Amino acid sequence: MSLKIVLTGTWLYDGIVEKPVDIIALEYDWWYSLAATDGQLEEDEKPLPLGQEGCLYYARFQRASTTSEPTWVDTHGHQQLAEAMKAAEEKVEGKIDWH
């Protein structure tokens, strides 16, 4: 299965080393799916509702640019792209240059 990368960017690790980041769109709640697979769901736990575009947006650092699954995400799911971008920016020192 191929992932949909909707936005890419770069940031400087330790202010020196350029590192990639991307935002992916998934048609399901990744963290809910992981918990379900691992038998870790809380009683009555529900997945996050999808946004208007029919997806949730997640930021990735370690697996940025990889388009195959399985993958790992580094933020919670967000219904709007701008929210996922903000969550990514909060995880790094400095700024992210979005392309």
Distance CA 92, CA 99 (A): 17
Return the domain boundaries, the chain: 4-98
Provide the residue-wise pLDDT of the chain in tens; the chain has 99 residues: 568 999 999 999 999 999 999 999 999 999 999 999 999 999 999 999 999 999 999 999 999 999 988 899 999 999 999 999 999 999 999 999 999
Single-letter code of the amino acid located at 66: T
Residues 6+ apart with CB under 8 A from 39: none
